[in-house]
Amino acid sequence: MRIVLLVLLAALLCVRAAFAIDPTTLPDPQQQARYQKLTHELRCMQCLNQSIADSPVELAGELRNQVREMVVAGKTDDEIRDYMVARYGEFILFRPRFSARNVWLWFGPAIMLVIGAFIAVRIIRQRSKLVEQDNEPLEEEAAGR
């Protein structure tokens, strides 16, 4: 029970009412844009549903500092992401990197569209054959067409 309370306490810290305002402005606008993009892409590992850009906890601030230093030091976006993933795992990326595991997740919608199209065509073919035999009158209500 105590452990449950502790988890809840930790959760309170991450209550989304609190968020971070990050007035960091890097002198180079390109670097600033990269900084913004990266800090929005990285998940706060304590408040798991917020990015480090938005999370109010200190860890997020430290990770933002880390990102800023690396951007200023000239590291590429990929190098920065790799750095974070090496320490925290793939989970730190909000947008999962394309990999064998993710394929079904990313291709899912498109595959479902194709399957859906097949099903629709089959049903419509079936039903359009029945139209001539079907003499059931449509419900003629005032608003019907």
Partner 1 sequence: MLPELGHFALILALLLAALQAFFGIAGPQLGKDRWIAAVTPAVAGQFVMVATAIGCLVVSFVNLDFSVRYIAENANSALPMGYRIAAVWGAHEGSLLLWIFLLACWTLAVAVGVAKLPKRFGARVLGVLGFVSFAFLLFTLATSNPFLRLDPAAPDGRDLNPLLQDPALAMHPPMLYTGYVGFAVAFAFAGAAMLEGKLDQTWARWTRPWTTAAWAFLSMGIALGSWWAYYELGWGGYWFWDPVENASFMPWLAGTALIHSLAVTDKRGLFKSWTLLLAIIAFSLSLLGTFLVRSGVIVSVHSFASDPTRGIFILAFLVIIIGSALTLYAWRAPLLKSQAGFEFLSRESFLLFNNILLVIALAVVFGGTMAPLIAEALHMPTLSVGTPYFNPSFATPILPLLALVSLGIMSSWKRGRLGERRRTLLVTLGVSIVLALAVSFGVFGGARVLTPVGFTLAFWIILTSLIDPIDRWRRKLSLSRSIVGMTVAHLGLALFVIGITAVESYTNEHDIALSPGQTAKQGGYEFRFAKLEPAEGPNYSGVRAEFIVSRDGVPVFTLNPEKRNYWVQRSVQTEAGIGTHHGTNILIALGEDLGANKWSVRLQLRPLVTYVWIAAFVMALGGGIAASDRRYRVAVRSEASDAVPASEGALDTSKVG
Partner 2 sequence: MKNRFIIAPIAFAVLALVLLIGILRAPRGERIIPSVLIGKPVPAFELPNLTNPGTKVSSKALQGKPYVLNIWGTWCVTCRQEHDTLLKIQQMNEVPLIGVNWRDEDTLALQWLSDLGNPYSQIAVDREGRLAIDLGVSAAPESFLVDANGVIVHKHSGALTMEIWKRDFEPLIAGRAPAGS
Contact 82, 46 (CB under 8 A): no
Asked if 55 and 45 count as a contact pair (C-beta separation under 8 A), the reply is no
**CB 44, CB 57: distance < 8 Å:** yes
Three-state DSSP at 44 gives: coil
106 binds partner 1 (CB under 8 A): yes
Residue 141: which of partner 1, partner 2, none does it interact with, CB under 5 to 8 A by kind?
A: partner 1
Among 57, 58, 96, 103, binds partner 1 (CB under 8 A): 96
Residues 67-86 that bind partner 1 (CB under 8 A): none
Distances (CA, A) of 144 to 23, 41, 139, 141: 59, 51, 8, 5
Instruction: Give contact residues for partner 2 (rule: CB under 8 A).
Output: 2-4, 6-7, 9-10, 45-46, 58-59, 62-63, 66, 85-89, 91
Q: Which of residues 2-61 bind partner 1 (CB under 8 A)?
A: 4, 7-8, 11-12, 14-25, 41, 43, 47-49, 54
Q: Please select the residue that binds partner 1; options are 69, 94, 98, 103, rule is CB under 8 A.
A: 94
The least distance separating partner 2 from the CB of residue 5, rounded to whole angstroms, comes to: 9
For residues 52 and 60, the answer to whether their CB atoms sit within 8 Å is: yes
